[in-house]
Amino acid sequence: MKSILFSMAMIATAAPVSAQEKDAAPAPAAAPSDAEQRLRTDWAWLGRYQAANAALPDAASGAQRIVFMGDSITEGWVSQAPDFFAGKNRVGRGISGQTTPQMVLRFRQDVIDLRPAVVHIMAGTNDIAGNTGPMSPDQTKANIRTMTELARAHGIRVILASIPPAGGFPWRPGLATADPIIAMNAWLKAYAASNNATYADYWTALHDGKAMRAELASDGVHPNAKGYAVMAPVADKAIRASLATPAPKAIAR
């Protein structure tokens, strides 16, 4: 009898919970942000510059077009220092938040197909941040090598830019950044020297110890107008040096 009464009590107690669970509507899923939606539909954001690429005039024979491939630091350069690009046949192709695998995917349409004399590659900040998932330094290096080899195969000179200094990333609190940046820059410099590429050392021009000088950055990572003014002579010097070297012999069309 005690067993039967106990079972009936358990059923009576459980019934309201079951009904509550059955009647409860599932919580609506949060709508994805524009950036999240884009990662699902256009992971490398190939659509970002398609119209702008189509509007560019064909690169004339002997023209010295320079394409700047990169992330938000390159994208911000165009908006904050437009005189650096205006009338100089310099084309900005930076996309905020991008990692090197995303750049590899859009390298053909945003660099090779524009037929530049030089490509300026600034990448690696967001690899360290893990913006598109965890990445090892070797994976970043492989993607840099891939872009360099693609450029050279199409007769394009290469400038490899240092990753600018950063003492931390606001969107990745607690992540160690200074030493990984220094290590990657050491590799970039050595790789450029051994592969007839030009190294643009922005780190030295911008740093204050291991971080970016406070007066040159908006958030410790992204240069402000003063920061880009400091970067411009470094870029100009690298462009002159790169153009002074013979173009790689193209092996692909």
Per-residue pLDDT band at 10 (split at 50, 70, 90): very low
Query: What is residue 86's predicted lDDT score, i.e. its pLDDT?
Result: 94
pTM summary value: 0.85
| pLDDT tens by residue, 224-242 | 999 999 999 999 999 999 9
Inside any domain, residue 39: no
Q: What is the mean pLDDT of residues 42-65?
A: 88
Q: How many residues does the chain have?
A: 253
Inside any domain, residue 68: yes
Choice among 43-52, 57-66, 77-86, 201-210 with the minimum mean pLDDT: 57-66
Domain coverage including residue 218: 63-243
Q: What is the mean pLDDT of residues 8-29?
A: 47
Does 62 score more than 70 pLDDT?
no
Could you tell me the two tokens for 198? 């030009």
Inside any domain, residue 4: no
Inside any domain, residue 31: no
| pLDDT tens by residue, 33-51 | 776 776 778 899 999 999 9
Does 18 score more than 50 pLDDT?
no
Which amino acid is located at 20 in the chain?
Answer: Q
Which residues are registered as beta bridge partners of 207? 212
Specify the number of domains making up the chain. Answer: 1
CA distance 201 to 241: 13
Inside any domain, residue 43: no
Inside any domain, residue 203: yes
**Residue 215 burial class via C-beta count within 10 angstroms: exposed 0-12, middle 13-18, buried 19 and up:** exposed
Q: What is the DSSP letter of 113?
A: G
CA distance 253 to 236: 29
| Angle subtended by helix axes 100-110 and 137-153, to nearest 10 | 10
Terminal alpha carbon distance of the chain: 89
| pLDDT tens by residue, 181-216 | 999 999 999 999 999 999 999 999 999 998 999 999
Query: What is residue 36's predicted lDDT score, i.e. its pLDDT?
Result: 72
CATH of the domain at 220: 3.40.50.1110
Could you tell me the two tokens for 157? 């000179």
